[in-house]
Chain A
């Protein structure tokens, strides 16, 4: 097996130019769908509670138990919609289950420290939630949200299975045409690796910064 750096570079440029935009579209759209749905789910669990909390809890367990590729097939063939939209919805609702879990956990930790103080100032529960709990939860969630973004970036490659021309599909199609897999696979791996590495670096910087700002400590 011989690796030609020049070929590798050319393939890398090809894969990025043809596939990265779609990969980013899938990732960003499913991330925000997951954040939106996940926030609503977390909100229902914290604020409404009771039977609603248990229903949402069941839904998150259910969603986390489905392989992402199966979810994509269910949405794609079940709803009979275009493959990009199906990928965004499929990835987004699974992501919502995970995002709701850590948003809820962090919001509860914030409430434990700050709710009494907010109520003592004279804020209502709703005001305390919107002006104290939500902003702090979002700030403290940033590292976890970045991590979730990286997970979605990688998971978006399964859209290959329903024919979305994202980065991984472009690489595999090229490999099939060349009848040579090593260079395209390495090239696409390098792109995923580079982006995920940057995100994880950013997440570390953010959590250092948060620690410095006094989040996560008991005061």
Chain B
């Protein structure tokens, strides 16, 4: 069994606030792992620790066989192999859609302009961003389009792992669907992904494994059918039923 990433006993505090209290998680190649949990449970911080956007206070992260927590020198070169998709998209505001995708190809991969354009087009088309949108600036795109460009920006770097931090939380429901469809296809094509999300339907359909986090710890993990429908821990049950209730309320809204 080959793990693409292994996190061992990750701890992180911000000031007095102990956000992560020893989180461990290993993900196999081609696996889609969904992390759920209440806000403030440390999900986003944990995800940011995995590509060292946040430096853990304690613990070890091994990516592709390399201990990146003790090899920080080349971290920015390693990060190109770990895509990161943000809740707020974080596209580069001064660059067009295609330039957003090309920046890393030119500066990090040092590709020629023609090759970068070719790869960027390919990546944009793969997430359904058509030619008419390539030269638009982020502010001229809808949220769903921006997020898909952000996904293309990560994919163009040909990452071995894709981290997604609540990729649909900032989107209207109808735009959420177009982003989830892209993620679903990526998962089918065996892209290794760790997704923090509240979309239980997505987790049920797509995840190989669901991890429930609370208060800086992993409470429970397992296949989606087990965690979402028949969890062992009382806390997991309570959280899921609350989330379900919220969905029903949203569905029944006029």
Contact = CB atoms under 8 A, between A and B. Distances in A.
Contact of B107 (A117, A123, A135): A123
A119 B52 CA distance: 10
A132 B170 CA distance: 23
Q: Which of A123, A136, A217 has the most CB of B within 10 A?
A: A123
B112 to A, nearest CB: 17
Contacts of A218: 88
Given A122-B108, A123-B108, A125-B76, A116 B86 contact: yes
Contacts of A127: 76, 107-108
Contacts, number: 85
- The DSSP consensus for interface residues of chain A is helix
A114 B224 CA distance: 34
Contact of B76 (A113, A114, A119, A136): A119
B139 interface: yes
Contacts of A117: 84, 86, 90-92, 150
A144 B107 CA distance: 30
Interface residues of B, number: 34
A72 to B, nearest CB: 38
> What interface size band does chain A fall in?
20 to 34
B79 interface: yes
Interface of A: 113-114, 116-125, 127, 131-132, 135-136, 139, 212-215, 217-219
Interface of B: 48, 51, 53, 76-77, 79-84, 86, 88-94, 103-104, 107-108, 137-140, 143, 146, 150, 153-154, 157, 170
